[in-house]
Amino acid sequence: CSFFKLRVLSGYEAAAKRFNPADLEVNLSGRSFMVTGANSGIGKATAQEIANRGGTVHMLCRNKGRADAAKEEIVEKSKNQEVHVHIVDMSNMRQVWEFVETFSQNNTLHVLINNAGCMINQRELTDEGIEKNFATNTLGTFILTKALIPLLKKATDPRVVTVSSGGMLTQKLDVDNLQFEKGTFDGTMAYAQNKRQQVILTEAWAAQHKEIHFFSMHPGWADTPAVQTSMPSFHAKMQSRLRTEAMGADTVVWLAASPSASKQKSGLFFQDRTAVATHLPLAASKSSPQEEEKLVIVLEELAQKFKP
């Protein structure tokens, strides 16, 4: 199935042979990183790697119990006390706006890592009336990033890394059906649409805000709680070939922390520390500039609707 065309475990091991280990021999003390969905999977592995290198970590999580447990583990392993938990539901737009308003008053931020995501296999709406996959993966990410841009612009070498997915290669932006009201609902396809939207947003932000480096990336298919729950049959079939969470997080950490990444062109899509194409050869997945512009306009309008 084309959704899983990308290299899995063996691909990582081959790619890792050309990584420069010195790229991540960095001291991150004095730099502040925000990671959404940081209590498990790739988000937690990313938070751990940043804490290990002395960075200040702001973990955005929905569940306090799981977040506190993850924080405790990260602090214990890294011996870094600068790890902070913020309870935010990324599918609640008003909450995201309110969080940024409070956070921006007395914090600095150098790097935002948009990692939180969900794949819900039936069409459900949030209390605010937004389809749940779109709410968490696209609109919540859009609001958080947009609202934090003024704070990021005050920092040196600011960056935004969005964890997308190779699944987006199967999708052409469908700007007239963002919340999947039309046609039969398919959770995997909805997720892949959202991931395509994230890549387009990364390109749009890069064009608009030259002072910030924006990157999107595919972590490879990793053995995470999210993959186990939302794609059980894929997980069962592929388990022995899936990447570890740390492998999945490697390029996220590299983009967020390494000096080499800041030499890369803003707006690109990465896999295994390398910029890769955002469309498969001969695929009809390219959208027009007008469609991409419309996506941003629709998100702007929706975002304003929930602004306190």
In the sheet with 56-61, reading across from the earlier edge strand, the strands are 83-87, 56-61, 32-36, 111-114, 159-163, 213-217, 269-271, 274-275
SS3 of residue 121 by DSSP: coil
Tell me, letter by letter, the H, E, C secondary structure of 1-57: CHHHCCCCHHHHHHHHCCCCHHHHCCCCCCCEEEEECCCCHHHHHHHHHHHHCCCEE
Would you tell me how many other CB atoms lie within 10 Å of the CB of residue 103? Answer: 19
Centroid of chain to Cα 51: 18
**Which of the residues 142, 180, 191, 269 is marked catalytic?**
191
Q: Which amino acid is present at 54?
A: G
Q: How far apart are CA 242 and CA 289, in angstroms?
A: 36
Q: Rg of the Cα trace of the chain?
A: 18
Q: Is 12 a catalytic residue?
A: no
Instruction: Using the Cα atoms of residue 15, residue 266, residue 282 and residue 230 in order, give the sign of their dihedral.
Output: positive
- Alpha carbon 48 to its chain centroid, in Å, reads 16
Mark residue 129 as left, alpha or beta (left: phi above 0; alpha: psi -120 to 50; beta: remaining): left
The answer to whether 145 and 34 are in contact (CB under 8 A) is no
Q: Which amino acids are annotated catalytic?
A: 191
